[in-house]
Amino acid sequence: MKLKNSLIAVLLTTNLGASLTWANDLPELGDVSQTVLSPLQEQAIAEQILRDVAVSDDVVQDIEITAYLQALGTRLVSNSPDSQLKFNFFVVQDSSINAFAMPGGVVGVHTGLILAASSESELASVLGHEIGHVTQHHLARMLAVQKTDTFKNIAGIALALLVARANPQLASGALATASAVGIQSQLDYTREHEREADRIGLQILDSGGFDVRAMPAFFSTLQRGTRFAEGGAPSFLRTHPLTSERIADVDNRVALMAYRQVPDSVDFQYVRAKLLANKEVPETTIGVFEQNIREHRYVNEAVEHYGLAVAYMRKSAQKEFLVRAEKEVIWLKKNAAQHAMIENLSARLQVVSNNPQQAAKQYASALQLYPDNRALIYGYAEHFLAIKQADSAIKLIKEKQNMYPYDAYFYEILAKAYAMQNKVLLSHQAQGEAYFRKYNLVRAIEQMELANKANDGDFYQVSIVEARLKELRRMQGEVKK
C-alpha cells in the first residue's frame, strides 16, 4: 500500500522517536507493567491519527462514501461489548484488500476491501472483527507492554503500529527509523487476539442483523486474494494471520447460529458502484458497466446505470459523455426508486453542465426529500459559493449545523462565505472551529488569535471569540501536562 503524501509518508518522515514535534503533547506511558493504556492515552493516540487522516491525500473525502461507512460501523458498534466507545471510520484510496484498527476506535478500510466484499455482511464482518480488536484493547495492550526505552513515548509506538497495520512492507523500515529494534515481533496480532476478535466479531454481526456466514465466506475470499491483489496474499492476511484453526473455529461457531438471509442495503450497492466507477481509467469502468447492462449481469439494474453515469461524469469535459451521463440520470429518475445518491448525482450533473438555476432547483427539491443528507447540503452550499451567493450559503449551513455540530467542513464553508463578505473576524473564527474539529488545536488557536485581532466584529462577536480562545488555550495547557 502507498499512502503517498500525508498519512504513512508523513509518519515515516517526521521522526517517529522522541523528536516528534507533538510528542510532548501526549501523556507518558508510565508503569510498563500496566496491561492497558488509559482512556486518555488511547484518545490522544486516536486524535493524532485523525489529524493525519484529515489532511491525507489518500483518504477518501467523498461524504457519501465516508458517511455510509461511518453509519455501518456505528450500527455494529452499538451491538458491541463497549457500545459507548466512540469510533471513527475512514476509507483509504487503495486497491489492496486491507483494514486496520488503532487504539481509541480509529478504523481504516481500503477501497479494495469494500470492492472485494461480495455482500454487505462480508464488509460488516471485517468491521466487526476490527471493532473486536478495539473493544478488547488488543493493540493498546501491545503498546502498553513495550519498554519505555524502546520509544520515548507511546505515540511513537502507536504510529509505527499504524504503518505496520496499513503497510506491512514498510513496517521494518519505519521501525528502524524509530530505533525500534525488537518490536517487529510485537506487530502482528497473536492467535489468541485473532480468535477473540473473530468471536466478538461474530457476536456483533449477529446482533447487528447481518449474515454470520459472511465471515467464513470472506475468509475464503481472502485466501483467494491473489485474484484481487498482486504480490501474494492480501495485506489483511499479513497482519491478521489466517490459520486452519481459525477457519475451523469460525465455521464451528457459525454452524451453531441461526440461519439468516440478509439482503444488501441499496446504500452498500450504490457506494460500491461509485467506488468502481472512480477506479482506474474511466474507459475501463465505462466498459464494465455497459457490458453488465447489455448482458443483464446485475443484481440491481439501477445500480449499474448509476455507476455508468458516474463513470461518464469523469469524462464530462467531452460533451458526448456529458450527454450520456444525462441520459443515465433520466433513466434513473424514471425507473429507479428514489435515493439521495441519485438526487445528488442529478444536481452535480446540472452544476457540471453549467446550469446554475437548474442546479439550485435540484438541490432544493432533493433537500426536501432528504433534509439531513450531507452530500446534498455540501453540494448546495458549494453551489452558492460558486455563484457568489455567500448569504445563501451561510443561511443553509446555519439551518443544518445543529444536525452535525462536529462537521469541520460546515465551518470551512462558513469561513469561505464570510471571507467573501469581507467579515474577517467571522471568517477566522469559523476556520478555527474547523481546525478544532480536525483535532488540530494549534491551528485552531492561531485562527482564533487572528479573529481576536480583527477590528470588524461587534461587542458580542468579540466576546465569543475571546471566550473561545481562552477555552482552547486551557485545553492546550491540559494536553501538555
Judged by DSSP in three states, 118 sits in coil
pLDDT of residue 76: 97
Alpha-carbon gap, residue 268 to 72, rounded angstroms: 9
Q: What is the pLDDT of residues 187-235, one digit of tens each?
A: 456 778 888 999 999 999 999 999 999 999 998 777 765 444 444 455 5
Q: 133: closest CA among 160, 99, 172?
A: 99
pTM for the predicted model, two decimal places: 0.86
The residue among 388, 405, 433 whose CA lies nearest residue 450 is 433
Q: Answer whether 147's CB lies under 8 Å from 212's CB.
A: no
Whole-number pLDDT of residue 241:
64
Neighbours of 51 (CB within 10 A): 19
pLDDT band at 237 (very low <50, low <70, confident <90, very high): low
Report how far residue 355's alpha carbon sits from residue 171's, in angstroms, rounded to the nearest whole number. Answer: 50
Helix (H, G, I), strand (E, B) or coil at 132: helix
pLDDT in tens, 437-474: 999 999 999 999 999 999 999 999 999 999 999 999 99
Task: State the chain's mean pLDDT as an integer.
Answer: 83
pLDDT, tens only, 252-290:
999 999 888 999 999 999 999 999 999 989 999 999 999
pLDDT band for position 148 (50/70/90)?
very low
Q: CA triplet 312, 315, 321: central angle to 5 degrees?
A: 55
Q: 32-50: per-residue pLDDT in tens?
A: 334 567 788 788 888 888 8
From residue 333, alpha-carbon distances to 63, 233, 306, 336, 339 in Å are: 22, 42, 10, 6, 10
**Edge-to-edge strand order for the sheet containing 99-102?**
88-92, 106-110, 99-102
pLDDT recorded at residue 121: 97
Give the Cα separation of 126 and 128 in Å (integer): 5
Q: Is residue 275 within 8 Å of 287, Cβ to Cβ?
A: no
Provide the pLDDT for residue 19: 29
Between CA 29 and CA 61 the distance in angstroms is: 33
Question: Taking 60 as the threshold, does the pLDDT of residue 244 lie above it?
Answer: yes
User: What is the DSSP code (8-state) at residue 59?
Assistant: B
Q: How confident is the model at residue 103 (pLDDT cuts 50, 70, 90)?
A: confident
The predicted pLDDT at position 240 comes to: 66
